[in-house]
A and B are shown apart, each in its own frame.
Chain A
Amino acid sequence: MKVGFLRQFSSQWPLAVAAAFCVYSLVLLINAFQSQAQLRTEADMRIVADSKRRAAAVADLIAERRNGTVDLAEAHEVANYFINKALGMSLRYGLNANLYAIEERFRNQLARANLRGERIYNRVVLYDEARRVLVDLAPDKGEFALPVDAGIKPAVLFDPDLRRIVVSAPVMFKGAFSGIVATVGELGQLSRDLIPSDATGSYMEVLVSATGRELPAYGTPARISENLVQALAELPANQPTPTGNLPGGNSFVDTGLAVRSQIPGSDLSLVTLLAEETVYGQVTSRLFLYSASVIPLIMLVAAFMFERVRRVEMALARSEQRFRTIFNNIRDAIIILHMDDGAVLEANPRMLSMFGYGSSEVAGLTPADISENLSPYDPPAWSARMTAAAGGEPQFFPWRARRKNGEAFWVEISMLRASIDGRERLLAVAHDITQRKSQEQELLAALEYQRQLNTRLEDTQNQLLQSEKMASIGQLAAGVAHEINNPVGYVHSNMNTLQSYVGGFLELLEAYGEADATIAEPNAAMERARAKRSKMDMAFLKEDVASLFAETRQGIERVIKIVKDLKDFSHVDNEEKWAREDLHKGLESTLNVIWNELKYKCEIKKEYGDLPLVECLIFQLNQVFMNILVNASHAIENKGTITIRTGTKGDQVWIEIADNGKGIAAENLKRIFDPFFTTKPVGQGTGLGLSVSYSIIKKHHGSIDVESQEGKGTTFRVNLPVTQSAIE
């Protein structure tokens, strides 16, 4: 249990240290906050106290003015005047002296009273009880307003517009109001003791009126903008206020404090503007403390994150190790490629062995270096695959790769886009499929061979079926021919006789007719004969009988021909002798026989090879050639070409007759050798030509093949052994 705890602790010591540091920092920060708050409070109290003290100093100045004015009002010169006035002395004889003494006193006071070289008063006036001017040191400056309470008590009137301070004091003589002494001074004198701006520019005192006017010292321009002064005049009293939100263009505004203190006994205010560092000095700013208070939490989070990262890194290291093992030991080549040009950046050992490169040679290899570079396995095709993979479509394709020694081999490439070490790469895995390809080739060859075997088997089967079918048909045809041949023979023979007989009858009837014409008085028999004759239309009968005989003869001859073909097909007549014949002569004689039918629409091209004499039944082969050539001419609808090629192959010769006619439909191609199958109009073909031809070729132990494509033409190829003896 204890060991487990220690192990867990040791594995998480950064977190523990960070937590301890966090607690320690928080304690320090709380202390700092408290100290800072106390310091700030004390600093605020100090600046407020300073401001109030400075305001009190200004108030003292005002009180000093008031006291000075009271002193003047209580001056013995003034008293003397009123004493003497009370004694009844006239202005001319006595009081003038008093007034001049007062004037001198005032003048002396005016000259003596100054502040930093500036006169405190620029005007002193003595009024009598009716506020008539008795003494005025500056009568040319016009009248001015007195404070409201001027006749009651010492009073002060501030006039920001005219920048003057008017202080009045009542003159009392024997307890009665007797007059007023008023002093007039520059209002800015109150600002004389204020600090316009310290050396650092971080401290400034401004006297402002209740109406929001700055009252700078005499001869000193206003330092701050009117809207700022207005805002300062409206600040709460004795309360440090950040200047950040105040309008105006003063350097203190952005980061300073303003404290407004009412000048006691007046409606003026002293505003102290301080830079924050002037107030709080080295006291850590609250913003800094707020910021610092986040640091422990950040540290804690950082430690947590660090721990997480450390664990992730450990996991990554393990994973890296695992994948490195796989990377190094996998039987496939793994190649990391550059996204842009496909250059090899890194490859695993299997790639090196697969492609025959050393580890120092692999970096920088281009696709062309590792490809066979024969279409379609060339750089453009590789680039297309790269582009597709870079676009997010994983690629899987066979490729002809090339080893360093130039040997090409088959690989199967799996290529995809991957982020490796934070960079986008192409990852290609190459699997050597050379053996599989070889097996595939062998399999394909075997399949081809199998297919050929199947074809041959099928052909054999077909030939067998055809042979059987032909044999059956041959037997049938032989029987039919034999049975038909005799009736047709005597029908043909009798037809000649019958035609001869009918001719005789007709001649007889014509003779009877000529004889009837000579009979003037026919009897009743003759009349009946004439009536029948007239009904029979003898002329037509005579003509039609001739036609009927002709058509009948044609029909019989056609039947005879069919019977003959059937006999030929069934080898009924086997009187022809096998002989070594020149097939080229056979072809030429056949062309001569049917030239009349070919010449109008066919061009004959002859591409004869060297043929040996072939043991055959030449007349039957001629019939085969004739049937094929006639069919070829029929397939050519307008104008075409028939090409006759001959040649030898082994111990066989071949004759190929090709036309560029309309071709044979695929569904008909298998049936063309069937007896009685024809596509010609009724009456034009017997459907036995190719059947007979097939039979003849078979008789020669040859073969006849046909290839046809609709619209392009048909090619018949006849293969014949040179000799029959070996076969037999």
Chain B
Amino acid sequence: MNMLFRSFSAVLLACLAIQVAAADLKDIQARGEIRHLGIRYANFVTGEGDGFDVELVQGFARHIGVKYRLVYSDFYSVIRDLLGKDVARKGGEVSLEGNFPVKGDIIATGFTILPWREKILLYSAPTFPSQVLLVARANSKLIPIKGSANLANDIAETKAMIGKRSLLGMERTCIDPANYDLKGRGLDLRSYTKSSNLNEIVPALLNEEAELTLLDVPDVILDLQKWAGRIKILGPISETQNLAAAFPQASPELRDAFNVYLRMIKADGSYDKLVDKYYPGIRQYFPEFFTKKR
């Protein structure tokens, strides 16, 4: 009986979760509130109630006329919290499993557009550029690459430096080595599991939990100031990536509304102010992304 009751309750909750996860623009407007799933990561979501993505979604909420609520998550749970399903990846396959409560309507947290993610999510237009770089401690004997006009060569040169050295990553995040074809190559990959907070990666590196680690550019911009003289960038691991807001595939109108909103704030300059507020210097890295120059 108890089992039966627990099963029923689980199905009911799953149904409710699916129903909620499928909430599109009209549902949210009917509800009068939008839930923003955010991960404490760099300056996208600072954990202090602000951040680039926090202000972005807050603006969107005002745009569609609803209240805003921030729901903290982490890189392991954030898709589950959006879709009510857990993500399972087996090779190139991606599946959703289980039923979980849907805790939010939109992921906006420096969320990288990755091919596997695109299979289960709707992405908005890119909201931010990024690139993943290989980072070592300052006292490492590895010498940063000189850099060239050929990004592929630079990536290859950088990857070549890894060799047998241990590499600290964080699964399901933008610094998941799997994203960059590093898994299964006999590398000493070490996954940081003490926390899902990417901000702890550099301290872990300095704590010699690994010789190398990965950092995306928005994080690097901050860390090079924060940990100047203690870490060094060796070179690029990835192509240039885009970050965007993610929506359930059942929320196309919501996504479209977001895109409209994004175009609007890019047009009126609000977007640039947000960029400069939280990531000054990002333009140096990705001048082509920010077509509207200072």
A80 touches B225 (CB 8 A): yes
**Nearest 6 pairs of A and B residues by beta carbon:** A100-B281, A94-B233, A80-B228, A90-B147, A92-B147, A87-B232
Interface residues in A449-504 (C-beta closer than 8 Å to B): none
Question: What string of 1s and 0s marks CB contacts (under 8 Å) between B134-148 and chain A?
Answer: 000010000111110
A710 to chain B, nearest CB (A): 145
A93 touches B283 (CB 8 A): no
Closest to B283 in A: A100
B280 touches A104 (CB 8 A): yes
> Would A101 and B232 be within 8 Å (CB), given that A90-B147, A93-B144 are in contact?
no
B236 touches A97 (CB 8 A): no
A94 touches B284 (CB 8 A): no
Closest to B229 in A: A83
Distance between Cα atoms of A92 and B224 in the complex (Å): 13
Distance between Cα atoms of A79 and B225 in the complex (Å): 10
- Chosen A-B contacts, 11 in total, with CB atoms closer than 8 Å, are A77-B225, A80-B228, A80-B229, A83-B138, A84-B229, A87-B138, A93-B133, A96-B284, A97-B285, A100-B284, A104-B280
B226 to chain A, nearest CB (A): 10
B23 to chain A, nearest CB (A): 39
Partner of A97 from B144, B145, B154, B281 at Cβ < 8 Å: B281
Say yes or no: is A98 at the interface (Cβ < 8 Å to chain B). Answer: yes
Distance between Cα atoms of A375 and B144 in the complex (Å): 146
Interface residues in A311-370 (C-beta closer than 8 Å to B): none
B147 touches A101 (CB 8 A): no
Closest to B230 in A: A83
Question: What string of 1s and 0s marks CB contacts (under 8 Å) between B48-60 and chain A?
Answer: 0000000000000
List residues of chain A with CB within 8 A of the CB of B236.
Answer: 93
* Besides the known contacts A94-B232, A96-B284, A97-B224, 19 further A-B residue pairs in the complex with CB atoms under 8 A apart: A79-B228, A83-B229, A89-B144, A91-B147, A92-B147, A93-B233, A94-B133, A94-B224, A94-B233, A97-B281, A97-B284, A98-B225, A98-B228, A100-B280, A100-B281, A101-B224, A101-B280, A103-B281, A104-B280
B residues whose Cβ falls under 8 Å from a Cβ of A:
133, 138, 143-147, 154, 220-221, 224-225, 228-229, 232-236, 280-281, 283-285
Distance between Cα atoms of A621 and B166 in the complex (Å): 204
Count A/B pairs, Cβ under 8 Å.
76
List residues of chain A with CB within 8 A of the CB of B145.
Answer: 90, 93
Identify which of B138, B221, B228, B235 gathers the most chain A CB atoms within 10 Å of its CB. B228
A182 to chain B, nearest CB (A): 21
B284 touches A99 (CB 8 A): yes
Say yes or no: is A4 at the interface (Cβ < 8 Å to chain B). Answer: no
Partner of B228 from A83, A100, A104 at Cβ < 8 Å: A83
A269 to chain B, nearest CB (A): 41
Say yes or no: is A88 at the interface (Cβ < 8 Å to chain B). Answer: yes
Distance between Cα atoms of A83 and B139 in the complex (Å): 12
Distance between Cα atoms of A100 and B222 in the complex (Å): 11
> Would A88 and B143 be within 8 Å (CB), given that A80-B228, A93-B233, A96-B284 are in contact?
yes
List residues of chain B with CB within 8 A of the CB of A634.
Answer: none
List residues of chain B with CB within 8 A of the CB of A94.
Answer: 133, 144, 220, 224, 232-233
B147 touches A93 (CB 8 A): yes
B135 to chain A, nearest CB (A): 9
> Would A88 and B144 be within 8 Å (CB), given that A93-B133, A101-B225 are in contact?
yes
Interface residues in A96-120 (C-beta closer than 8 Å to B): 96-101, 103-104
B141 to chain A, nearest CB (A): 11
> Would A93 and B224 be within 8 Å (CB), given that A100-B280, A100-B283, A101-B280 are in contact?
no
List residues of chain B with CB within 8 A of the CB of A103.
Answer: 281
Distance between Cα atoms of A612 and B280 in the complex (Å): 175
Closest to A96 in B: B284
Distance between Cα atoms of A80 and B232 in the complex (Å): 11
Say yes or no: is A76 at the interface (Cβ < 8 Å to chain B). Answer: yes
B218 to chain A, nearest CB (A): 10
B265 to chain A, nearest CB (A): 22
> Would A87 and B285 be within 8 Å (CB), given that A93-B236, A94-B233 are in contact?
no
Distance between Cα atoms of A101 and B224 in the complex (Å): 10
List residues of chain B with CB within 8 A of the CB of A99.
Answer: 284
List residues of chain B with CB within 8 A of the CB of A79.
Answer: 228
List residues of chain B with CB within 8 A of the CB of A101.
Answer: 221, 224-225, 280-281
B39 to chain A, nearest CB (A): 22
Distance between Cα atoms of A101 and B280 in the complex (Å): 7
Distance between Cα atoms of A83 and B232 in the complex (Å): 9
Interface residues in A557-608 (C-beta closer than 8 Å to B): none
B225 touches A96 (CB 8 A): no
List residues of chain A with CB within 8 A of the CB of B234.
Answer: 93
Interface residues in A483-540 (C-beta closer than 8 Å to B): none
Distance between Cα atoms of A508 and B143 in the complex (Å): 217
> Would A98 and B224 be within 8 Å (CB), given that A87-B138, A87-B144 are in contact?
yes
Distance between Cα atoms of A103 and B221 in the complex (Å): 13
> Would A90 and B285 be within 8 Å (CB), given that A80-B228, A83-B229, A101-B280 are in contact?
no
Distance between Cα atoms of A92 and B235 in the complex (Å): 9
Closest to B158 in A: A93
Distance between Cα atoms of A100 and B145 in the complex (Å): 20
A90 touches B224 (CB 8 A): no
B43 to chain A, nearest CB (A): 13
Distance between Cα atoms of A80 and B234 in the complex (Å): 16
Distance between Cα atoms of A92 and B285 in the complex (Å): 7
B144 touches A90 (CB 8 A): yes
Distance between Cα atoms of A103 and B133 in the complex (Å): 22
List residues of chain B with CB within 8 A of the CB of A76.
Answer: 225, 228
Distance between Cα atoms of A710 and B133 in the complex (Å): 167
B248 to chain A, nearest CB (A): 35
B282 to chain A, nearest CB (A): 8
Distance between Cα atoms of A76 and B230 in the complex (Å): 14
Closest to A99 in B: B284
List residues of chain A with CB within 8 A of the CB of B284.
Answer: 96-97, 99-100
Distance between Cα atoms of A592 and B234 in the complex (Å): 190
Distance between Cα atoms of A96 and B131 in the complex (Å): 14
Distance between Cα atoms of A92 and B148 in the complex (Å): 8
List residues of chain A with CB within 8 A of the CB of B147.
Answer: 90-93
Closest to A98 in B: B224
B95 to chain A, nearest CB (A): 36
List residues of chain B with CB within 8 A of the CB of A96.
Answer: 281, 284-285
Distance between Cα atoms of A93 and B238 in the complex (Å): 12
Distance between Cα atoms of A91 and B236 in the complex (Å): 13
Distance between Cα atoms of A45 and B145 in the complex (Å): 67
Closest to A89 in B: B144
B11 to chain A, nearest CB (A): 51
List residues of chain A with CB within 8 A of the CB of B235.
Answer: 90, 93
Closest to B233 in A: A94
A38 to chain B, nearest CB (A): 63
Identify which of B143, B221, B236, B283 gathers the most chain A CB atoms within 10 Å of its CB. B221
Partner of B232 from A77, A88, A104 at Cβ < 8 Å: A88
Question: What string of 1s and 0s marks CB contacts (under 8 Å) between A5-49 and chain B?
Answer: 000000000000000000000000000000000000000000000
List residues of chain A with CB within 8 A of the CB of B133.
Answer: 93-94
Identify which of B138, B144, B154, B236 gathers the most chain A CB atoms within 10 Å of its CB. B144
B225 to chain A, nearest CB (A): 6
Closest to A87 in B: B232
B132 to chain A, nearest CB (A): 11
Distance between Cα atoms of A99 and B144 in the complex (Å): 17
Closest to A80 in B: B228
List residues of chain A with CB within 8 A of the CB of B220.
Answer: 94, 97
B243 to chain A, nearest CB (A): 17
Distance between Cα atoms of A101 and B145 in the complex (Å): 21
Identify which of A79, A92, A98, A104 gathers the most chain B CB atoms within 10 Å of its CB. A92
Distance between Cα atoms of A98 and B222 in the complex (Å): 10
List residues of chain A with CB within 8 A of the CB of B144.
Answer: 87-90, 93-94
B284 to chain A, nearest CB (A): 4
B158 to chain A, nearest CB (A): 8
Partner of A80 from B154, B224, B233, B283 at Cβ < 8 Å: B224
Distance between Cα atoms of A92 and B287 in the complex (Å): 12
Distance between Cα atoms of A83 and B143 in the complex (Å): 14
